[in-house]
């Protein structure tokens, strides 16, 4: 009896809701995102959705407040399924360390695989390691290499933090979630919702098929322009990836300084004329 209880305790799955931890039978069968987006649940939507808006707002407030003092950062994406001894995890660990050495915090989804490797690389190099977790039916919790961790219920609140607090995205081999983050970043840059936002794909052999399709099908059919593919740097070299980010960051800073100086000069001229 005691042995069975201890076994259940040691292997119990967990789900995190902010400060709340749920285990075993207390874990609900659906996630907050699922309940929000499920159009079949219409019974009391007027009440539930109105109150849910406050919960969504609280996630943004918690994210903004927690990350407000974060140093310049880079968001790193990749598969949670990659094994610790896989080539992409080795690459992610080297990348995390190199970004930390360059003065950047590393932001990941906080999970295992590539995410954990990038967090580990940053932490071992003395950098700041951030994990933005998400409520999932198969959630494993934020990995042990994260210094600052936030658990989100809603994907869109989490995605905002990935973009708002990052100077660049680096994308390693991954699945649907990784593709989602990649194409959202490209769309934001293409539509000028964000500017000068480097997007780096690491692992040429993994990404080459996608790049060929984007060029030979999507661009050839006129669905995107030639300049859109120039938004992406593809490399196997960690040093090249970090250098690209640093140079883009410096160029944007110079552009902002130039704009600020132009405004000061214009105001001085207007003041003198008056």
DSSP letters for 20-46: EEEEGGGS-SS-HHHHHH-TT--TTHH
Candidate CATH numbers 3.40.190.170, 3.40.50.450, 3.40.50.300, 1.10.40.30; the one for domain 62-257: 3.40.50.450
Render pLDDT for 46-75 as a digit per residue (tens, 0 to 9). Answer: 457 777 888 899 999 999 999 999 999 999
- Report helix angle 238-273 to 87-101, nearest 10: 40
Looking at the predicted structure, is the pLDDT value of residue 167 above 70?
yes
Q: Which residues of 171-196 are buried (b: 16+ CB within 10 A; e: fewer)?
A: bbbbeebbeebbeebbebbeeeeeee
List the one residue out of 236, 245, 203 whose CA is nearest residue 99. 245
* Secondary structure class of 76 (helix, strand, coil): strand
Render pLDDT for 212-238 as a digit per residue (tens, 0 to 9). Answer: 999 999 999 999 998 999 889 999 999
Kindly calculate the radius of gyration of the chain based on its CA atoms and give it in whole angstroms.
22
Cα 86 off chain centre by: 21
Cα torsion angle, 216, 218, 221, 225, sign: negative
Higher pLDDT, 153 or 91: 91
Render pLDDT for 94-144 as a digit per residue (tens, 0 to 9). Answer: 999 999 999 999 999 999 999 999 999 999 999 999 999 998 876 678 999
**DSSP H or E run through 107:** strand 105-108
């Amino acid at each position: 009896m005691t042995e069975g209880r201890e076994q259940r305790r040691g292997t119990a799955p967990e789900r995190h809701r902010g400060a709340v931890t749920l285990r075993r039978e207390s874990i609900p069968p659906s996630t907050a995102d699922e309940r929000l987006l499920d159009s079949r649940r219409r019974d009391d939507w007027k009440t539930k959705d109105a109150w849910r808006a406050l919960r969504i707002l609280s996630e943004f407030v918690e994210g903004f407040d927690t990350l407000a003092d974060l140093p310049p950062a880079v968001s790193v994406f990749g598969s949670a399924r990659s094994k610790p001894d896989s080539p992409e995890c080795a690459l992610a660990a080297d990348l995390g360390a190199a970004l930390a050495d360059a003065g950047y915090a590393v932001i990941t989804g906080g999970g295992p695989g590539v995410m954990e490797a990038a967090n580990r690389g940053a932490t071992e190099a003395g950098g700041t390691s951030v994990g933005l977790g998400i409520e999932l039916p198969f959630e494993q919790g934020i990995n042990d290499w994260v210094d600052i961790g936030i658990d989100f219920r809603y994907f869109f609140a989490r995605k905002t933090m990935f973009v708002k607090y990052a100077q660049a995205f680096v994308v390693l081999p991954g699945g649907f979630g990784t593709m989602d983050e990649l194409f959202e970043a490209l769309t934001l840059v293409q539509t000028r919702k964000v500017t000068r936002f480097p997007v780096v794909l690491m692992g040429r052999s993994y990404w080459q098929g996608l790049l060929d399709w984007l060029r030979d099908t999507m661009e050839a059919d006129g669905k995107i322009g030639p300049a859109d593919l120039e938004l992406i740097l593809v490399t196997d070299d960690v040093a090249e990836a970090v250098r690209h980010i640093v140079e883009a960051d410096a160029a944007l800073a110079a552009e902002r300084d130039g704009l600020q100086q132009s405004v000061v000069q214009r105001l001085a001229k207007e003041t003198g004329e008056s």
